[in-house]
Amino acid sequence: MSRIDFYHLQKQTLDEVLPKLLAKAYETGEKILVMIGTPEKVEQINSLLWTYNDESFLPHGSKKDGFAEQQPIWLSDSDDNPNHATFLFLTDGAQVSAAKAGEFQRIFNIFDGNTESALMQARALWKEYKDAGLEVNYWQQSERGTWERKA
C-alpha cells in the first residue's frame, strides 16, 4: 500500500525544503520522480538542485538532460515514470489520481500553505487518497521550521 505524506509549507519555501527532503529520500536508495506543475518550474528546480549546497550533490536530470532511465532523481511535469521510481514528490500543484498513486511506495505532496488554492487542492487530494484507502499523513512546520506530524 502507498504511504502519502502531505507537507504543509508555512515557514519556508519549496526551494528551501525540497532539496533537504530529496536528500533524505535519496539516502534510502530508492529512485525518485519529482512531478512539478510546469516545464518552466522543472528547469528552475533542475538549476536549484545543482546550486543549493556547495558541499553536497543530488544526481538528477530532466527531459532537457535526457537519459531518464539512468537518473536516480527525475524531474518532470508529467506523471510518466521513465526512471521506474518508487518515490514520488508532488510539487507546484502537480497531482496524481489515487489509482496512479498506488503505483508508488511513497508519495510526498509538498504544498504552499500560504496559498488558498494550494490548500484547497491538498484537501481534495487528501480526501481522494483517504477514500481510496491509502495511508495519508500530515506534516506541518513548527515556528522553528521543523516538521511536526499532526493527527
The pLDDT of residue 11 is above 90: no
Residue 67's CATH number = 3.40.50.10110
Report the distance separating Cα 9 and Cα 97, nearest Å. 22
| Percent of the chain scoring above 70 in pLDDT | 99
Give me the half-sphere count of Cα atoms (radius 13 Å) on the Cβ side of residue 45: 34
Range of the domain at 127: 3-150
Count: domains in the chain = 1
Residues in the chain, overall count: 151
Exposed, middle or buried, 110 (CB in 10 Å: 0-12/13-18/19+)?
Answer: buried
Instruction: Specify the pLDDT at position 86.
Output: 98
- Average pLDDT (75-92) is 96
- Residues 64-75: what's their mean pLDDT? 94
Calculate mean pLDDT across residues 6-31.
Answer: 94
